[in-house]
Amino acid sequence: MRFHVNLCAGLCLALTLLNSPAVAIPVAGQPAATPVERSTTDHSKLDLLKGPFKSGPEVTKACLTCHNTAGHQVMKSVHWTWETKSPTTGKMLGKKWAANNFCGSPLSNEPRCTSCHAGYGWTDQGFDFTNQDNVDCLACHDTTGTYKKFGTNAGHPLYADREFEPMEGPPGKKPFKAPDLTKIAQHVGQPGRANCGACHFSGGGGDGVKHGDLDSSLKTPSRELDVHMAKDGADMACSDCHTFNAHQPSGSRYAATARDPHGIDLPKDDRNRATCESCHGFEPHRQAKLNAHTAKVACQTCHIPEFARGGIPTKMLWDWSTAGKMGADGKPLFIKDEHGHLTYSAAKGDFSYGENVRPEYKWYNGTVQQVTITDKLEAYIATDGVLELNRIEGSAGDPSSRIWPFKVMRGKQAYDPVNDTLVVNHVFGDDDTALWKNYDYAKSIRAGMEYAGLPYSGEFGFIETRMNWFITHMVAPKEKAVPCAECHTRDATGRLAKIEGIYLPGRDRNPWIDLFGGLAIVGAIGGGLIHGLARILTRRQENKQ
């Protein structure tokens, strides 16, 4: 049986790799020596790609000449629409709607936020989502590593070199180079870790900020950091698990597969390998006792002992309420810690960071009650008074739930206390209302809400919020998995000390049975001692007589 499991997983992996044009096929146990070019097309030899290309959309037009359905495929994907219907709650989510406690809403801040849109030119609500020439092919398919969407150009890269002074960086202008679009267009291929990472490693406004288990250390991770993506591990790319079908990615934060009832996915199946079971099956361990854990415990819970392990800290707290302070020089205040990470930004408030963070654990069945920017907040306030931006559903009694690890992001952010909603905060823009230019919340929130067309009472306050980011990347090698005793312990600091609804051996006990049993043992030993002592004493008396 084990042999079959291994064989299937191996075939599965091999087939994926065969579908990728420019990947090395690793031989089991040793990394491949040189990458084998597997594509049937050498793009650098195509007349269509001779260029020169002066803009992103020009390149896209050339791509679509041959790949004539690709544009429409991309335009159906969440990478383009930034909205998606939750399959569990039916609610419209995605960046357009879902609230988080990082940057807030892209609305009214488009040119900045859409630097991670899989398209060009989403500068405002007038963006044409039906024009396939605006699809950005290169962000995902550049293999040179030189393509870069500029941070404030609504998804466009630079088309000419320029100098720019980053808001929170050291004073002074820094030169930024325009990428060579012609060269890049001639060197396209399957997305690698760095392509996805360009946006997904920097969610929340910087390297490692948002997820905790995704940061630039995963471009070339050590085996210890990520056993799947390490060169001396499986050397896999993101899309080996997050399989794409007609440009639709699999694996969603809004609808995770908390328990995969399907198991190993063969090419004839749904081509969704975004679960561990897709390759590892249901019985991945040699020890039956460990396999038995998978009914209640997600693989990630044991196999990702800590997140932010690659030397890049992740944000654990973001307090927007303190933004706007000016330094002694009258200029916006920015304070950095000894590692160069901002701890205070006049534009964003106070931050705290974490590295090698032990996750928090919760029952999770794949359903997330996500707050959107139009929701009344009352229903989402947790028992401790904190607004739970994405409540995780699940319990011990729910057969589709398992114990999952989470990064719990804490924050304080603006809301409308009268209408009981969150607000759209207009932070970015060269105008007289943007927060990052004027440092005035009254103006920036009014402008944001007006732009979004949402009701606003004119009053704002700050509300404490919490958000659950499930941890699923940075899988450690098996020898670094969480040791049993970190959960199976009576210690209040045990990893699963707060998990309710199950009997956890080593943590739980019946105090009455323990009391009775303890007395029985003490009685047995004590009885023996007293009886024996009496024998010795009576024997002695007899000897005297």
Partner 1 sequence: MSTQRIYIYKRYERFWHWSQALLIIGMMISGFEIHGSYELIGFAKAVRLHTLAAWTLLTLWAFTIFWQFTTGEWRQYIPSLKNVLAMVNYYLIGIFRNAPHPFRKSTVQKHNPLQRLAYLALLAVISPLIWVSGLLYLFYGDWQHLGIDTYLNLEWVAVAHTLGAFLITAFFFIHVYLTTTGHTVFAHIKAMLTGWEEVDGDDGAH
Residues that bind partner 1 (CB under 8 A): 288-289, 291-293, 295, 483-485, 488-490, 502-503, 505-510, 513-514, 516-518, 520-521, 523-525, 527-528, 531-532, 534-535, 538-539, 542
**Minimum CB distance to partner 1, residue 208 (Å):** 32
Query: If you write DSSP's letter for every residue of 63-125 in order, what string do you get?
Result: HHHHSTTHHHHHHTSHHHH--EE-TTT--EESTTTB--SSS--STT-HHHHGGGSSBS---ST
- Nearer Cβ to partner 1 (461/506): 506
How far is Cα 485 from Cα 357, in angstroms, rounded to an integer?
18
**Minimum CB distance to partner 1, residue 281 (Å):** 15
Query: If you write DSSP's letter for every residue of 305-317 in order, what string do you get?
Result: --BS-SS--EEEE
**Minimum CB distance to partner 1, residue 270 (Å):** 24
| 141 and 247 Cβ atoms separated by less than 8 Å | no
Q: Is 359 left (phi over 0), alpha (psi -120 to 50) or beta?
A: beta
How far is Cα 12 from Cα 14, in angstroms, rounded to an integer?
6
Output the six-digit token pair for 80: 């383009």
Q: How far is CA 382 from the centre of its chain?
A: 23
**Minimum CB distance to partner 1, residue 489 (Å):** 7
**Minimum CB distance to partner 1, residue 513 (Å):** 5
How far is Cα 28 from Cα 24, in angstroms, rounded to an integer?
12
- Nearer Cβ to partner 1 (296/443): 296
How far is Cα 20 from Cα 240, in angstroms, rounded to an integer?
9
Nearest alpha carbon to residue 22 among 38, 7, 44, 33: 38
Output the six-digit token pair for 59: 């390149």
Which amino acid makes up residue 414?
A: A
Output the six-digit token pair for 271: 């081509």
- Nearer Cβ to partner 1 (327/483): 483
Nearest alpha carbon to residue 228 among 479, 3, 25, 473: 473
- Nearer Cβ to partner 1 (10/518): 518
**Minimum CB distance to partner 1, residue 227 (Å):** 20
- Nearer Cβ to partner 1 (1/513): 513
- Nearer Cβ to partner 1 (64/290): 290
**Minimum CB distance to partner 1, residue 490 (Å):** 5
- Nearer Cβ to partner 1 (331/535): 535
**Minimum CB distance to partner 1, residue 259 (Å):** 13
- Nearer Cβ to partner 1 (267/483): 483
- Nearer Cβ to partner 1 (3/503): 503
Residue located via tokens 């698990």? 241
Beta strands in 337-456 (DSSP E): 342-345, 349-354, 360-364, 368-370, 387-388, 390-392, 402-416, 421-422
**Minimum CB distance to partner 1, residue 474 (Å):** 23
